[in-house]
């Protein structure tokens, strides 16, 4: 069966989701999972955007061996140079250069004529080609561009060395038949089109991203771009798992396949949801909690007689399985290690010991420790940068009552190793807690967003909190886990402050290096 290449942009376009901000260790974990999933190309970031993005792309490029790693660049030499610096040691490098071709973007955003857009694209593809064998060129806002103009630019950039041509539906504007016709038009009107892969890149503003991607495949696309769980700018990108499973289940209709290991989909989805804080809705296609659940009597009756009456996808196909190993206070290190293996996660002995210690501590409070709990603990250990952390929570107490003024008392260890303590009040537990922590930390801070979720079910479930703070004018995210919701909230807040401090240190180090 002919194979469609999969270009994952979870770490670049996906990270452009409002409110998402991954540190480099979190990005690396996602990159390793994408490698296990079997994507052909992963877009690791936009190195010219920030020092943090540059470092994350470089770390991924230096680590990933079996997948092509790419990075985004504007049609500017400085962007291409920065991408080259980040990617130069990777096994299969690719640069991704983009420039908008629609009248509205050219006139108002770029303030360039169509002729300037064409020649700048050619010049920068030529420049990129001197550094990279694989050069992808994207016509941003292709679906609102003039097709004849676009065809001319595509022909020129292929002559200049582009090996992949991407036609993004940047604002999710197109419809399936129209997008399909655009691909057919380019196949028929660009004389050298067969010298390049043709790629689609769909956004979901009108809920058409998956349908548009399928239409592109039917009309000549050889590469699809998207993200895990469909995260991304505004309403997101196409969810890769939806397209890959649709191609598999309807191979009779399309006759194409991807190289993805479909049973790695659930793990990939869980990891991205956990590290980004963007949880998947229960009825989400392919990986939603309800995607393999049957509620009504007639459906249940049908499924009991023959599951295919109401199930077109088996849960096992995408790696959804029921928990068979009961993990509790009597479990030992072997069972724990086996569970880590089941998740497909590699851990050093040191990290395994730390995760096992947290697991045992949890079993003292929790009757049954679920897969979700263990997975959360492992990720806490794997993405921990505590050796570089600055503030740690020592103790806290919150007094809340319907008729009392809520008071929190918190003790923190500061970056200098000093123990500081104070108390403050607030309208509720979290406000009192956060006001108290703020008083102990010598930075100007504002809470922008706060989320609390339970991991798995049950009244003794672990709590996981995500916060977004404005610290000294910089937006930072934080994540914290604990058995208690207030402790998880405190951990998330302190984690955000520590990330801010690490960012400041990284920037200072960069200035000193220059
Ligand atoms: C459709 C997409 O997803 S595109 C990718 C979007 N991703 C991002 O923007 C990543 C995060 N971005 C950033 O950190 C910043 O925008 C940066 C570092 C890239 C640039 O920052 P700044 O230099 O402050 O510029 P700012 O973002 O305000 O404006 C963008 C500039 O790039 C220009 N530009 C936009 N696209 C392109 C392009 N493809 N090629 C060349 N120039 C471009 C704009 O015209 C504008 O130029 P101007 O300053 O001459 O008016
Ligand atoms: C940078 C390009 C490929 C993009 O993300 C878009 O146009 O949506
Ligand atoms: Mg995009």
DSSP string, 490-513: HHHHHHHHHHHHHHHHHHHHHHHH
Q: Which residue ranges make up each domain of the chain?
A: 5-264, 333-382, 392-513
Spatial neighbors of 320 by CB under 8 A, at least 6 apart, are 266, 287, 291, 292
User: What percentage of the chain carries pLDDT values higher than 90?
Assistant: 71
Rounded CA-CA distance 94/83 in Å is 9
What mean pLDDT comes out for the span 222-236?
Answer: 98
Contact partners, residue 501, CB within 8 Å, separation at least 6: 390, 391, 415
Identify the nearest ligand to the CA of 47 by its number: 1
Does ligand 2 come within 6 angstroms of the Cβ of 12?
no
Candidates 11, 56, 74: which one to mutate for ligand 1, based on the most atoms within 8 Å of Cβ?
A: 74
Alpha helices by DSSP H, listed for 9-50, are 24-37
Q: Which segment of 21-25, 50-54, 205-209, 355-359 scores lowest on mean pLDDT?
A: 355-359
Inter-residue long-range contacts of 260-265, CB under 8 Å, 24+ positions, other chains counted: 260/6, 260/37, 260/38, 260/39, 261/36, 261/37, 261/38, 262/317, 262/318, 262/319, 263/316, 263/317, 263/318, 263/319, 264/33, 264/36, 264/37, 264/38, 264/319, 264/344, 265/37, 265/241, 265/318, 265/319
Q: What secondary structure, in 3-state letters, does 63-79 show? A: HCCCCEEEEEEECCHHH
Question: Which long-range contacts (C-beta less than 8 Å, at least 24 apart) are formed by 178-182?
Answer: 178/143, 179/143, 179/212, 179/215, 179/216, 180/215, 180/216, 180/218, 180/219, 181/219, 182/142, 182/143, 182/147, 182/219
Confidence grade of residue 344 (pLDDT, cut at 50, 70, 90): confident
Beta bridge partners of 327: 369
Other beta carbons within 10 angstroms of residue 112's beta carbon come to 17
Task: Give me the pLDDT at residue 274, please.
Answer: 92
Q: Which atom of ligand 2 is nearest to the CA of 140?
A: 7
CA of 507 to the centre of ligand 1 (A): 21
Ion ligand 3 neighbours (CB, 5 A) are: 13
Distance from Cα 12 to the centre of ligand 3, integer Å? 9
Span 118-174, pLDDT tens digits:
999 999 999 999 999 999 999 999 999 999 999 999 999 999 999 999 999 999 999
Q: What span, in angstroms and rounded, lies between the C-alpha atoms of 103 and 115?
A: 12
Q: Is 37 helix (H, G, I), strand (E, B) or coil?
A: helix
46 CA from centroid of ligand 3 (Å): 12
The answer to whether the CB of 214 falls within 8 A of the CB of 240 is: no
Q: pLDDT digits over 298-326, tens only?
A: 777 787 778 899 899 998 999 987 434 46
pLDDT of residue 326: 60
Residues near 321 by beta carbon (within 8 Å), at least 6 away in sequence: 315
* Residues placed in the known binding site: 13, 201, 203, 237
Question: Dihedral of the CA atoms 95, 72, 37, 318 (nearest 10)?
Answer: -140
Residue 430 has phi, psi (to 5 degrees) of -70, -40
Whether the CB-CB separation of 287 and 269 falls below 8 Å is answered with yes
Determine the residue of 48, 138, 144, 235 to mutate for testing ligand 2's pocket, defined as the one with the most ligand atoms within 8 A of the Cβ atom: 138
Q: According to the model, what pLDDT value does residue 403 have?
A: 84
pLDDT at residue number 382: 79
Distance 166 CA to ligand 2 centre (A): 9
Does ligand 2 come within 6 angstroms of the Cβ of 161? no
Within 8 A by CB and 6+ apart from 388, the residues are 498, 502, 505
Ligand 2 lined by 79 (C-beta under 6 Å): no
Ligand 2 atom having least distance to the Cα of 237: 8
Tokens 């806490």 correspond to: 380
* pLDDT surpassing 50 at residue 296: yes
Considering every ligand atom shown, identify the ligand nearest to the alpha carbon of residue 170 and give its number: 2
Determine the distance separating the centroid of ligand 3 and the alpha carbon of 196, expressed in angstroms. 20
Mean pLDDT confidence for 359-377: 80
Is 384 exposed, middle or buried, given 0-12, 13-18 or 19+ CB atoms closer than 10 A? middle
Taking CA atoms only, the protein residue closest to ligand 1 atom 31 is 110
In ligand 1, the atom with minimum distance to the C-alpha of 75 is: 40
**Candidate from 9, 109, 139, 168 with most ligand 1 atoms within 8 A of CB, to mutate:** 109
Q: What tokens were used for 57?
A: 């792309």
Ligand 1 centroid to Cα of residue 77, in Å, is: 13
Ligand 2 centroid distance, CA of 387 (Å): 37
Ligand having the closest approach to the CA of 140: 2
Q: What is the mean pLDDT of residues 262-274?
A: 96
Q: Which ligand is nearest to the CA of 168?
A: 2
Closest residue CA from atom 2 of ligand 2: 140
What is the structure's pLDDT at 420? Answer: 95
C-alpha torsion 414→416→418→423, nearest 10: -30
Burial group, residue 25, by CB count within 10 angstroms (0-12, 13-18, 19+): middle
Q: In whole angstroms, give the CA distance from residue 143 to residue 145.
A: 6
Q: How far is the CA of 422 from the centre of ligand 3 (A)?
A: 47
The pLDDT score that the predictor gives to residue 215 is 98
Report pLDDT digits (tens) over 379-393. 888 777 655 558 999
Atom of ligand 1 nearest to the CA of 98: 39
Per-residue pLDDT of 80-134, as tens digits, reads 999 999 999 999 999 999 999 999 999 999 999 999 999 999 999 999 999 999 9
Q: At what angle do helices 24-37 and 371-382 cross, to 10 degrees?
A: 120
Which CATH fold topology does 392-513 show? Double Stranded RNA Binding Domain (3.30.160)
Q: Which of 204-208, 219-223, 291-295 has the lowest mean pLDDT?
A: 291-295
Ligand 2 near 168 CB (within 6 A): yes
Q: Stretch 244-256: mean pLDDT, rounded? A: 97
Question: CA-CA distance, 165 to 157, in Å (whole number)?
Answer: 9
Q: Give the residue whose CA is nearest to atom 44 of ligand 1.
A: 110
Residue-level length of the chain: 514
- Give the whole-angstrom CA distance, residue 140 versus residue 48: 18
CA angle in degrees (0–180, nearest 5) for 256-260-261 = 125
What mean pLDDT value characterizes the chain? 92
Distance between alpha carbon 457 and the CA centroid of its chain, in Å?
24
What's the rounded Cα separation, in Å, for the pair 13 and 135? 18
- Residue 358 class from Cβ within 10 Å (0-12 exposed, 13-18 middle, 19+ buried)? middle
- Measure 80 CA to ligand 1 centroid, in angstroms: 13
What lines the ligand 1 site, CB under 6 Å?
Answer: 13, 16, 46, 48-50, 74-76, 98-99, 109-110, 140, 170, 233
Using CA atoms, how far residue 205 sits from 202, 213, 388, in Å, is: 9, 14, 40
Q: Tell me how far apart the alpha carbons of residues 209 and 225 are, in angstroms, rounded to a whole number.
A: 11
Contact 212, 176 (CB under 8 A): yes
Pairwise CA distance, residues 390 & 387, whole Å: 9
Mutate to test the pocket of ligand 2, among 11, 49, 72, 95 (most ligand atoms within 8 A of CB): 72
Q: What is the pLDDT of residue 295?
A: 66
Per CATH, the homologous superfamily of domain 5-264 is Aldolase class I (3.20.20.70)
CA of 168 to the centre of ligand 2 (A): 6
Q: Are 482 and 488 in contact (CB under 8 A)?
A: yes
For 35-79, write each residue's pLDDT tens digit: 999 999 999 999 999 999 999 999 999 999 999 999 999 999 999
Q: What is the ipTM of this complex?
A: 0.98
348 pLDDT higher than 50: yes
Backbone angles phi, psi at 34, to 5 degrees: -65, -35
* Encoded tokens for 267: 């793990």
């Amino acid at each position: 069966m002919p194979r469609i290449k999969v270009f994952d942009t979870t770490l670049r376009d996906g990270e452009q989701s409002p409110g998402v901000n991954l540190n480099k260790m979190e990005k690396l974990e996602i990159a390793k999972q994408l490698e296990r999933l079997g994507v052909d190309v992963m877009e690791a970031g936009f190195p010219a955007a920030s020092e943090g993005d540059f470092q994350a792309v470089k770390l991924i490029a230096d680590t990933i061996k079996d997948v092509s790693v790419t990075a985004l660049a504007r049609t500017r030499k400085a962007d291409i140079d920065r991408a080259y610096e980040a990617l130069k040691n990777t096994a299969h490098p690719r640069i991704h250069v983009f420039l908008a071709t629609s009248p509205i973007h050219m006139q108002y955003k770029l303030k360039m004529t169509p002729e300037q857009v064409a020649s700048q694209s050619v010049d920068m593809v030529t420049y990129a080609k001197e550094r990279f064998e694989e050069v992808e060129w994207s016509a941003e806002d292709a679906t609102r561009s003039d097709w004849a103009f676009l065809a001319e630019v595509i022909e020129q950039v292929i002559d200049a060395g582009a090996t992949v041509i991407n036609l993004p539906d940047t604002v999710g504007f197109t419809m399936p038949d129209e997008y399909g016709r655009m691909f057919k038009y380019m196949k028929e009107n660009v004389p050298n089109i067969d010298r390049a892969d043709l790629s689609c890149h769909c956004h979901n503003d009108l809920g058409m991203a998956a349908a548009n991607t399928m239409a592109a495949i039917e009309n000549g696309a050889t590469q699809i771009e998207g993200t895990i769980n469909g995260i991304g700018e505004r309403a997101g990108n196409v969810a890769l798992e939806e397209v890959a499973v649709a191609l598999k289940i309807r191979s009779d209709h399309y006759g194409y396949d991807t190289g993805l290991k479909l049973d790695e989909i659930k793990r990939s989805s869980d990891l991205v949801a956990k590290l980004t804080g963007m949880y998947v809705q229960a009825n989400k296609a392919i990986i939603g909690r309800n995607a393999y659940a049957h509620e009504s009597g007639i459906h249940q009756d049908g499924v009991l007689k023959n599951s295919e009456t109401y199930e077109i996808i088996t849960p096992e196909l995408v790696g959804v399985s029921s928990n068979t190993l009961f993990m509790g206070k009597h479990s030992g290190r072997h069972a724990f290690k086996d569970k880590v293996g089941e998740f497909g996660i590699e851990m050093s002995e040191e990290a395994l010991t730390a995760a096992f210690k947290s697991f045992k501590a949890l079993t003292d409070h929790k009757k049954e420790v679920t897969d979700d709990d263990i997975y959360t603990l492992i990720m806490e250990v794997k993405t921990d940068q505590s050796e570089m952390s600055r503030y740690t929570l020592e103790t806290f107490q919150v007094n809340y009552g319907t008729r009392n003024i809520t008071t929190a008392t918190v003790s923190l260890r500061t970056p200098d190793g000093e123990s500081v303590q104070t108390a403050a009040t607030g309208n509720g537990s979290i406000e009192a807690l956060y006001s108290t922590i703020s008083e102990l930390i010598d930075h100007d801070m504002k809470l922008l967003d706060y989320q609390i979720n339970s991991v798995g079910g049950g009244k003794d479930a672990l709590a996981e909190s995500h916060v977004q703070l404005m610290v000294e004018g910089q937006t930072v995210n934080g994540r914290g886990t604990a058995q208690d919701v207030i402790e998880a909230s405190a951990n998330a807040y302190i984690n955000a402050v520590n990330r801010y401090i690490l960012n400041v240190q990284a920037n200072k180090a960069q200035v000193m290096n220059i």
